[in-house]
């Protein structure tokens, strides 16, 4: 992050902390229709035009350090296999055997020299080529070259590996713009994945995502946790191109004096001062939020299972500590974050039930919630506004505020 941007963000946080109204000219935001969370037509539009065409975070390369290391991921109904080949490349395939469609790999993660289907033992190499077929002579006219695992686009920004089911999609770096240019230090630091957890929440995926796009709720949902660390008024938000967002929130002075939240853990030499004195969170459209800290951070990834069920995945990255066991302070840090997540998650299923009852008519958003408006407007842009029934649309009211 260059010094001009850091200076601007510092000035914006100071302004935000003392302002008494939204900046002059900030528009009134139309209510979000509740049906965006409940109408099957909207869910199908998201599935067909957003999830099937978006770059979606799959793995951090540190999760697959050796050739043959693999992980299964499920991207909204598409079961994928991500595997590191003998050449060191990470590739993605549908985890669907080219014989009768059985899953080739069944364990969530592991290491294999060859990928052998459990059903009839068709066997693929790590580059997806079909290399063995039992009783091959009984398949008349079978051509092995035509029956390799079906590849899915897989590209990386540093060690952050994403997949996209659309063969005609723009490149990952184009999709992520302007974040790779703004945040080159993030991929210069060799983060190390220290684990994944997931929870299943009874709400639409957008209800889950929205809880991490604002800090308006800190005093009420997190009075004894996050609110003690962050000053929600001293928060500046950037609406970025391609639906991405940034939220930089000042740590309270007493927390900065104690050295932030580092608990004495190793900190990244790559990440500058702003990551020590603020919580700097990026929202990578559509479904990844990363509240970055110098010791490490969770990546929160939101996956719809169905219209009213979300899988929330946490992928934890830590600053490398060298040899030996993970430093014990990480246990305290993870426990603290789990408590915060429980505070957030407790709210989500009840919100979905109110939305389904349509009890409150629509969702009015305030200035502090402007990232949510931007997020919805970009969902509509990806779907194609003309495909969306009028009563389900969200106007792109904040387009002029997007940073250029």
215 DSSP assignment: -
Closest to Fe ion by CB, 128 or 291: 291
| Residue 41 binding target from ligand FES, Fe ion, none, CB below 5 to 8 Å by type | none
Residue-wise over 161-177: b if at least 16 C-beta within 10 A, else e?
bbbbbeeebeebeebbb
Contact between 103 and 95 (Cβ < 8 Å): yes
Among ligand FES, Fe ion, none, residue 122 binds (CB under 5-8 Å by kind) = ligand FES
Number of residues engaging ligand FES in binding (CB under 6 A): 9
Distance CA 35, CA 356 (A): 8
**Site for ligand FES (CB under 6 A): which residue of 6, 17, 30, 102?**
102
Contact string 207-236 vs Fe ion (x = CB under 5 A) = ------------------------------
Least separation in angstroms between residue 135's CB and ligand FES is 11
Q: Phi first, then psi: give them for residue 62, nearest 5 degrees.
A: -70, -10
Look at the alpha carbons of 147, 148, 150, 151 in this order and tell me if their dihedral is positive or negative. Answer: negative
* Local structure of 38: helix, strand or coil: coil
Using the rule CB under 6 A, which residue among 106, 113, 120, 228 binds ligand FES?
120
- In whole angstroms, what is the distance from residue 230 CA to residue 279 CA? 8
Query: Which of residues 344, 369, 375, 394 is near Fe ion by CB under 5 A?
Result: 344
- Find the shortest distance in angstroms from Cβ 102 to ligand FES: 4
Nearest to 64 by CA among 79, 80, 83, 50: 83
| Residue 344 interaction partner, one of ligand FES, Fe ion, none, beta carbon < 5-8 Å per kind | Fe ion
Candidate ranges 113-121, 157-165, 182-190, 199-207; the one touching ligand FES (CB under 6 A): 113-121
User: What is the Cα–Cα distance from 126 to 163, expressed in whole angstroms?
Assistant: 17
393 binds, among ligand FES, Fe ion, none (CB under 5 to 8 A by kind): none
The sign one gets for the Cα dihedral 218, 219, 222, 225 is positive
Distance CA(203)–CA(190), nearest Å, equals 35
Q: Nearest distance from residue 147's CB to ligand FES, in Å?
A: 10
In whole angstroms, the minimum distance from the beta carbon of 117 to ligand FES comes to 3
- Which H or E run contains 246? strand 245-251
Stretch that binds Fe ion, among 12-20, 261-269, 276-284, 337-345 (CB under 5 A): 337-345
Query: Binding of ligand FES at residue 97 (CB under 6 A)?
Result: yes
Which of ligand FES, Fe ion, none binds 120 (CB below 5-8 Å, type-dependent)? Answer: ligand FES
Report the interface residues with Fe ion, using CB under 5 A. 344
Report the interface residues with ligand FES, using CB under 6 A. 97, 99-100, 102, 117, 119-122
């Amino acid at each position: 992050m260059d010094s001009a941007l850091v200076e601007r963000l510092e000035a914006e946080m100071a302004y935000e902390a003392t302002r008494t109204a939204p900046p002059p000219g900030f528009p009134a935001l139309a209510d979000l229709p509740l049906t965006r969370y409940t109408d099957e037509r909207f869910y199908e539009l998201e599935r067909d035009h957003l999830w099937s065409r978006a770059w979606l975070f799959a793995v951090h390369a540190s999760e697959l350090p050796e050739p043959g290391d693999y992980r299964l991921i499920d991207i909204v109904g598409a079961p994928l296999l991500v595997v590191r080949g003998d050449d060191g490349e990470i590739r993605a395939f549908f985890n669907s055997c080219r014989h009768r469609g059985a899953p080739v790999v069944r364990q969530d993660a592991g290491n294999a020299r060859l990928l052998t289907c459990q059903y009839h033992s068709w066997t693929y190499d790590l580059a997806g080529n079909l290399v063995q077929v039992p009783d091959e002579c009984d398949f008349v006219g079978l051509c092995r070259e035509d029956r390799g695992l079906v590849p899915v686009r897989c590209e990386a920004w540093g060690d952050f590996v994403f997949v996209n089911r659309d063969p005609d999609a723009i490149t990952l770096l184009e999709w992520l713009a302007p974040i790779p240019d703004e945040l080159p230090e993030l991929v210069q630091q060799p983060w190390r994945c220290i684990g994944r957890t997931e929870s299943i929440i009874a709400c639409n995926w957008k209800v889950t995502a929205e809880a991490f796009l604002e800090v308006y709720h800190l005093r009420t949902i997190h009075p004894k946790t996050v609110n003690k660390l962050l000053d929600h008024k001293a928060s500046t938000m950037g609406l970025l191109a391609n639906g991405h967002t940034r939220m930089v929130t000042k740590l309270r002075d007493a927390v900065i004096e104690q050295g932030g939240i580092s608990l004495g853990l190793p900190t990244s030499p790559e990440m500058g001062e702003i990551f020590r004195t603020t919580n700097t969170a990026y929202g990578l459209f559509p479904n990844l939020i990363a509240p970055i800290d110098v010791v490490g951070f969770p990546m929160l990834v939101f996956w719809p299972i169905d219209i009213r069920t979300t899988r929330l995945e946490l992928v934890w990255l830590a600053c490398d500590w060298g040899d030996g066991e993970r430093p014990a302070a990480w246990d305290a840090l993870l426990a603290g974050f789990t408590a915060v997540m429980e505070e957030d998650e407790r709210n989500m299923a009840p919100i979905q039930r109110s939305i389904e009852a349509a009890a409150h008519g629509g969702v009015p958003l305030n200035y502090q919630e402007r990232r949510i408006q931007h997020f919805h407007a970009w969902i509509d842009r990806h779907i194609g506004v003309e495909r969306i029934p009028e009563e389900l649309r969200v106007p792109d009211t904040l387009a002029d505020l997007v940073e250029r």
